[in-house]
Amino acid sequence: MGARQIYEALREQILGGVYETGSQLPSSRGLANDLGVSRTTVTVAYEQLTAEGFIEARQGARPRVASSLIGPETRRMSAKRVGPVLLSAYGRRLRATPPWPDYLPNALKVDFRYGDLAPSDFPALIWKRAMNEAMAQRPLRLAYDDPRGSRRLRQALQGYLWRARTLSCDLEQIIIVNGSQQGLDLCARLLVDPADRFVIEDPCYRMARQVFASTGASPVPVPVDEGGMKTELLAGIGAKLAYVTPSHQFPLGGVMPIARRHQLLEWARHNDAYVIEDDYDSEYRYDINPVPPLHSLEDHGAVIYLGTISKTLSPMRRIGYLVVPPELQEVFATAKQFADRHSPVAEQEALASLIESGGYESHVRRVRRLNGERRETLLGALRHSFGDRIAVQGADAGLHAAVWFNDLPRSQETALVEAARRAGLGLHLISPLYERQSDEGHIDRVGLVMGYAALSIRQIEKGVEVLRAVVKQLQDALPGHGG
């Protein structure tokens, strides 16, 4: 036990009333013997308490709780607040937001959670080399950097986006952010007010919906099908912006056809609205050809493009990027500066080095192949275990599949998830991602978002085996089941 721990423990006891005003504390020698530490360690703790006015110390006498601590107002008041919690309107909206799942490591043997990547896929050697090279090429400079991000990284991304996505932009339009989530937060803060409305897919990426709703704006959910958002339903809808995932709709996986893309852009022009294009996993395409991003189809400054390396390198790197219209580049840079000055520089320089060397695109090709194998394993195992009793959507691209159980009613979804967890299997439902719970035929049955990028081939096979057993157990217990 160190001096800091002793100080904190005594401070808590004083504020909590264990030691009343004027009461004596143990001598430094006695407390040191009790705790098995040196007398010097206790003396340091007592000196800190004396300096902060908690105790009074006199030569040759045991320290006492300071006489200035005379009333209940000095007690630990954060234990339970008497009055109301005083939050801003923004804080109250966040407090009403449903809690998020526990992201701490768990004891599950297999977890089909979307968004995680396999540690073995991370290019540790070339990333370490890139970090070393980046730091060697950049003189040590202890100063704030450009809020838009490393110029070198933005130049590298400018070329990469043209090669990979036929997206052309000026360097100043690129803003480096701490993952796509910060990009969404900046868009929400800058583009919508409490009285506004925003269009969003239904079902959708829930954190996008909630970050826009946190401003006080109201969502306008638009249903999706195998072609993504049903843009024909936008007619007559007035909103400040639309959030879409046109290259691989989350979670159902539809790819928006070109006619709908033009229809969406026309709606944006008519409403003077912005379209936020979240291109979160476009690097992973298996059975379909790449589709040009909305950004490359539009020349009126209506599209804000959002990209990330969370699905290629690691979500722990926290590097994403926005491509904003020219008229927004200054205000977005200012908002980024106010948020956190700028993103960490060393990681930006390393990523720039990786892109410049060709190592990043080589890595993307490698993990695309590995995840293609995982995808084939998952689809094959599902076909073998369930046949035509399930329907699979959105598996032609990305790192997950939407799986519907045709003969398992939605009333069983909680039982399914809980039974699976008891068996060491993590499952994740589609239904919470819907805004409207009553008029979508899909959600009369159990649906799962099944991510596979963090799993080995064996784990995927074992996970589907456990899933089959759990589903059978539930079906056998249903009323009228013939066994």
Domain presence at residue 124: no
Whether residues 380 and 238 fall in one domain: no
The CATH number linked to 52 is: 1.10.10.10
Domain that holds residue 449: 110-117+363-477
Distance of CA 387 to the CA centre of its chain: 33
Do 327 and 390 fall into the same domain?
Answer: no
| Number of domains the chain is built from | 3
Pairing of strands 390-393, 320-323: unpaired
Give per-10-residue mean pLDDT for the chain (483 aa): 87 86 89 88 90 86 81 48 80 84 70 94 94 74 88 97 94 97 98 96 96 96 96 96 96 94 96 97 83 84 96 94 97 97 93 95 96 97 97 94 95 95 95 74 84 97 98 86 54
- Amino acid letter at 56? E
pLDDT, position 189: 97
* pLDDT score at 76: 47
> What is the spatial distance between Cα 177 and Cα 319, in angstroms, rounded to a whole number?
6
Burial label, 358 (beta-carbon count in 10 A; 0-12, 13-18, 19+): exposed
Do residues 212 and 316 both lie within one domain?
yes
**pTM of this prediction exceeds 0.85:** no
**Does 314 fall in a domain?**
yes
CB neighbours of 2 closer than 8 A, spacing ≥ 6? 41
- CATH number at 373 reads 3.90.1150.10
Quick one: 379 and 248 in the same domain? no
Write phi, then psi, for 349 (nearest 5 degrees). Answer: -65, -40
Clarify whether residues 350 and 395 are in a common domain. no
Whether residue 65 sits in one domain with residue 212:
no
How would you list the strands of the sheet with 390-393, edge to edge? 390-393, 400-409, 445-451
The answer to whether 375 and 381 are in contact (CB under 8 A) is no
Among residues 412, 397, 478, 473, the alpha carbon closest in space to that of 448 is found at 412
In a domain, 122, yes or no: no
Indicate the residue among 320, 341, 359 that finishes a domain.
359
Q: Please list, in sequence order, all residues whose beta carbon lies within 8 angstroms of the beta carbon of residue 310, skipping any fewer than 6 positions away.
A: 115, 179, 180, 280, 317, 318, 319, 320
Q: What is the number of helices (H) and of strands (E) in the chain?
A: 15, 15
* CB-count exposure of residue 361 (10 Å: 0-12, 13-18, 19+): middle
Q: Does residue 419 sit in the same domain as residue 327?
A: no
Q: Are residues 379 and 430 in the same domain?
A: yes
E strand or H helix that includes residue 90: helix 89-95
The crossing angle, in degrees rounded to 10, of helices 179-191 and 329-340 is 120
Residue 67 shares a structural domain with residue 170 = no
Question: Which residue bears the tokens 């022009």?
Answer: 269
Name which of 167, 115, 204 is nearest 305 in CA terms: 167
CA distance 177 to 64: 52
Identify whether residues 391 and 433 lie together within a single domain.
yes
Nearest to 372 by CA among 291, 456, 284, 455: 284
What is the reported pLDDT for 106? 66
Distance CA 446, CA 431 (A): 8
Cα 65 from Cα 26, distance rounded (Å): 11
Residue 254, domain member (yes or no): yes
Is 306 in the same domain as 397?
A: no
